Structure 1
Amino acid sequence: MDFLSDETRRNPYPVYEHMRSSAPVFQAPGPGMWMLFDYEGVKRALTDHDTFSSSVTPPTGKAPDWLVFLDPPRHTKLRAIIMRAFTPRAIAGLEPRIRELSRELLAPTLERGEMDLVADYAGPLPTMVIAGMIGIPVEDRPRFNRWSEVIVNLSYSISGGEAAARAVREHAVVKEEMRAFLSGLIEQRRAAPRDDLLTRLVEAEVDGERLTQEEILGFFQLLLSAATETTTNLINNAILCFIENPEQLARLRAQPDLLPSAIEEVLRYRSPGQVMFRETKRDVSMHGQVIPARNFILAMIGSANRDPRQFRDAERFDIARDPNPHIAFGHGIHFCLGAALSRLEARIALSDLLERVKGLELASSEPWAPRKALHVLGPARLPIRFEPDRRAVAPA
């Protein structure tokens, strides 16, 4: 099985179904690498911190110095500091600006009746939101986009070979650029604090301890990759789900209050992040297999969220699914800090888009190309056609 082929990455679910039933714990090609496919096994890898470490060693060496790759007690303290800066009130306060950006991006496309959803809308929106949150000047955003692409390409480090080595080399260069860039911004915030996330990270304190510059750099890289890539794919995957399931889109139009539930179902059905990484601290038995200590684990989130032992009619897209205990944002102490922001952006983006267009369909018969990052699910481009809803776009 070629897990990295475009065909499998567009639709990994038949492979997942086969693996859950035949080899839910699978020793992958290459030394010391295993894949977990069932809900119970994946969730255990995310929550059993005595057995599974987040401080992983991929084939290319040590993982980046990011919060998601730390174990307690250091993880606990750093997360507490960052949570002081990433509060629910701060996220809720972004809603007016996200709506403004959403409408600015949609306005030029509506009269055309078509767009590349990725390039024109779902890609720029979360990038602009994060750049604004951090306090990055507008003129620096092209550099911000380039850094983001290099960071998400670190996913190639799990594949080994020249692609992995190249991804690590490119990241090393970009990391030095970001360090120099952030150093100047941090000094500015210390001298003249602003109402932005970078200032809150600089000033946040728990038990008398503040983040070091290296820790801020690590969180900055994580934001560039996770916060933008996840939301972009969530919006794109939602539109793909609605186009492929027109009866569910009609149901949502008739009952707009189902939008939060629909977003949760997109997260389950087409999880933006398909894989999370762990490493065994000791030998562990799962499904009759023994995974040795210090082995690299690929916990297949996308497969777990389609496990029929956990979800009734798991292969059916149902916008009113209840309960829906998906683990698209992880689980336990590493539950995604940006989940609330991603959900807010998706809610605004999808409501704005669906209120303003009708007759939504794909504008190309060609299979879409997957995004570059190996650990995500979503299209690199998604041409769509639609009719503008004159009632929604008419001037007030």
Structure 2
Amino acid sequence: MSATTPAPGTGFFAQLLDPAQRVDPYPLYARIREQGPVRLGDLPVAVLSTHRDCATILRHKSAVVERHHASIPLGPTPVHDLAGPSADELSGTASMLFRDAPDHTRLRRLVAKAFTPAVVRGLEPRITEIADAALDRATERGNIDLVEDLAYPLPITVICELLGVPLEDEPRLRRWSMLLARALDPVSATGTGRPDPADMVTANNELHDYFEQLVRVRRTCPGDDLLSALIVAEESGDALTRDEVISTCALLLIAGHETTVNLIANTALTLLRPGHRHHLSILRTAPAFSASVIEESLRYDPPVQLVPRIAREPIELPGIDIAAGDLVVLLLAAANRDPAVFADPDRFDPARDNRHLAFGLGQHFCLGAPLARLEASVALTRFAHRVHDPHLACDPPPYREHVTLRGPAKLPVNFASIRTPG
């Protein structure tokens, strides 16, 4: 397959990987959605982009995540048509992200108690404290980058404290997390789309070794944290293996902050743009408005743009028959702007009836959704309340290279002043 003569259906995929699309991929998603279900050339890969099709697959009992069901070799990427790290080489294969029932059910049950709405609500004072401390540091410097100074440190601090990971190790964890998050991106036939596979394997091995050492420490000195609780579950005969403990911790670390960074940054960017600033003004005096703002942001500019599924058995959809073993790529960001479901879908409207798919559906619905919503709510309400007369320093901002997890790399904001907490 050459770059000049792409196979039928592959042209849009090459465009999807083009870094120029990061700033605004939604016109491309609209063109893809207008085509209906499509196949990626001669590969056993189906790409779905309507709300109806994506919702159907997310709930379908024959749409699974375990890679061995695929008819083509897959790494932990939505589309993998180039040699690279296999699923066995990268962490996550023992985590719930790549497991179906009954293993997924067992792993999720062990972790879910730490993310119930009631437990998460109890974290609000600490999350508020972290957000205010981040804004205080910006006050001292006289400038703020909403990604570097607020959107990133808030969720990484929370997930480190939940897991019992020393925050001083954050720089190493950040580097590993950024590399391994790129393993979720599609890979083009030309090899673009991800960092050097060897770097990702090295990051995986280092992260695995890090948590293995931390597990040994927690066995002798348990704490009041999720890692200690997972070790207790293992030792009480709940069939949680050492690899499952380590892979679950790695997944929670990466998923517990990478997506939330994007959620906070994407929402702030929207609110600071002309035409939407009145929503920021409302948020300043009515913090409860944050719930509607965040739900609309999850639809309008979701942090997770696409997810993969594999057909364990044949699946029939209007316009396409999916064979057993086919890889199914769900363009959630396209589905969230489907005009068949959302009136005037390219308009940001917190008042709309929201049925977005940003957190998925079915058994793999995002476990950390309550925490992500709370962290985004606190970050945005504290920013709106404390930062006086904020304006974007540049628009559009530079974006991260990720395709699957989309958000600004930096979001510098000018402001008149930052009020004291209160």
TM-score (norm 1): 0.91
User: Is 2:261 aligned against 1:248?
Assistant: no
Report the counterpart of residue 353 of structure 1 in structure 2: 383
Report the counterpart of residue 149 of structure 1 in structure 2: 178
- Structure 1 pair 205/85, CA: closer, same or farther in 2 (3 Å)? farther
Corresponding letter in the other structure for 1:293: A
- Structure 1 pair 210/387, CA: closer, same or farther in 2 (3 Å)? farther
In 1, are the aligned partners of 2:116 and 2:370 still within 8 Å (CA)?
Answer: no
Report the counterpart of residue 325 of structure 1 in structure 2: 355
Corresponding letter in the other structure for 2:371: L
Match of residue 62, structure 1, among 83, 87, 109: 87
User: Is 2:16 aligned against 1:3?
Assistant: yes
Q: Secondary structure at the residue paired with 1:378? A: coil
- Structure 1 pair 207/197, CA: closer, same or farther in 2 (3 Å)? closer
**More displaced stretch, 378-387 vs 311-320:** 311-320
Report the counterpart of residue 14 of structure 1 in structure 2: 27
In 2, are the aligned partners of 1:231 and 1:342 still within 8 Å (CA)?
Answer: yes
- Structure 1 pair 166/315, CA: closer, same or farther in 2 (3 Å)? closer
1:46 and 1:282 mapped to 2: Cα distance?
A: 14
Report the counterpart of residue 182 of structure 1 in structure 2: 211
Match of residue 403, structure 2, among 359, 374, 378: 374
Report the counterpart of residue 8 of structure 2 in structure 1: none
**More displaced stretch, 375-384 vs 285-294:** 285-294
Report the counterpart of residue 98 of structure 1 in structure 2: 127
Report the counterpart of residue 374 of structure 2 in structure 1: 344
User: Is 2:392 aligned against 1:362?
Assistant: yes
TM-score (norm 2): 0.85
Report the counterpart of residue 71 of structure 2 in structure 1: none
Query: How big is the shift at 1:168?
Result: 3.6
1:242 and 1:164 mapped to 2: Cα distance?
A: 29
Q: Where in structure 1 are there 5+ consecutive unaligned residues?
A: none
2:211 and 2:320 mapped to 1: Cα distance?
A: 46
Query: How big is the shift at 1:132?
Result: 1.6
Query: How big is the shift at 1:346?
Result: 0.7
How is 1:33-44 mapped onto 2 (pairs within 5 angstroms)? Answer: 33-44=45-56
**More displaced stretch, 183-192 vs 120-129:** 183-192
Could you give the per-residue CA deviations for residues 241-276 of structure 1, whole angstroms, max 9, x where no partner exists?
A: 112212332333353321111111111111110111
Report the counterpart of residue 228 of structure 1 in structure 2: 257
Q: Where in structure 2 are there 5+ consecutive unaligned residues?
A: 1-11, 68-73
- Structure 1 pair 346/375, CA: closer, same or farther in 2 (3 Å)? same
How is 1:127-146 mapped onto 2 (pairs within 5 angstroms)? Answer: 127-146=156-175
1:327 and 1:151 mapped to 2: Cα distance?
A: 24
In 1, are the aligned partners of 2:280 and 2:384 still within 8 Å (CA)?
Answer: no
Report the counterpart of residue 296 of structure 2 in structure 1: 265
**More displaced stretch, 347-356 vs 369-378:** 369-378
Report the counterpart of residue 286 of structure 1 in structure 2: 317
Query: How big is the shift at 1:299?
Result: 0.5
Question: More helix per residue: 1 or 2?
Answer: 1
- Structure 1 pair 30/125, CA: closer, same or farther in 2 (3 Å)? farther
- Structure 1 pair 85/247, CA: closer, same or farther in 2 (3 Å)? closer
1:335 and 1:96 mapped to 2: Cα distance?
A: 26
Query: How big is the shift at 1:359?
Result: 2.1
Report the counterpart of residue 211 of structure 1 in structure 2: 240
Corresponding letter in the other structure for 2:27: P
How many pairs are equivalent?
389
Could you give the per-residue CA deviations for residues 93-133 of structure 1, whole angstroms, max 9, x where no partner exists?
A: 32222222111111122365532211122112111111121
Query: How big is the shift at 1:28?
Result: 2.5
Could you give the per-residue CA deviations for residues 191-218 of structure 1, whole angstroms, max 9, x where no partner exists?
A: 2221111112222379941421111221
**More displaced stretch, 293-302 vs 103-112:** 103-112
Query: How big is the shift at 1:384?
Result: 1.2
Q: Secondary structure at the residue paired with 2:32? A: helix
In 2, are the aligned partners of 1:202 and 1:210 still within 8 Å (CA)?
Answer: no
Report the counterpart of residue 104 of structure 2 in structure 1: 75
**More displaced stretch, 259-268 vs 84-93:** 84-93
Corresponding letter in the other structure for 1:353: F
Report the counterpart of residue 200 of structure 1 in structure 2: 229
Report the counterpart of residue 58 of structure 2 in structure 1: 46
Could you give the per-residue CA deviations for residues 148-190 of structure 1, whole angstroms, max 9, x where no partner exists?
A: 1111111245435545785543232222222222222212222
Report the counterpart of residue 393 of structure 1 in structure 2: 420
1:88 and 1:198 mapped to 2: Cα distance?
A: 20
- Superposed structure 1 runs of 4+ greater than 6 Å apart: none
Q: Secondary structure at the residue paired with 2:341? A: coil
In 1, are the aligned partners of 2:283 and 2:384 still within 8 Å (CA)?
Answer: no
In 2, are the aligned partners of 1:154 and 1:167 still within 8 Å (CA)?
Answer: no
Match of residue 122, structure 1, among 128, 140, 151: 151
For the aligned residue pairs, the C-alpha RMSD in angstroms reads 2.3
Match of residue 32, structure 1, among 16, 24, 44: 44
Report the counterpart of residue 188 of structure 2 in structure 1: 159
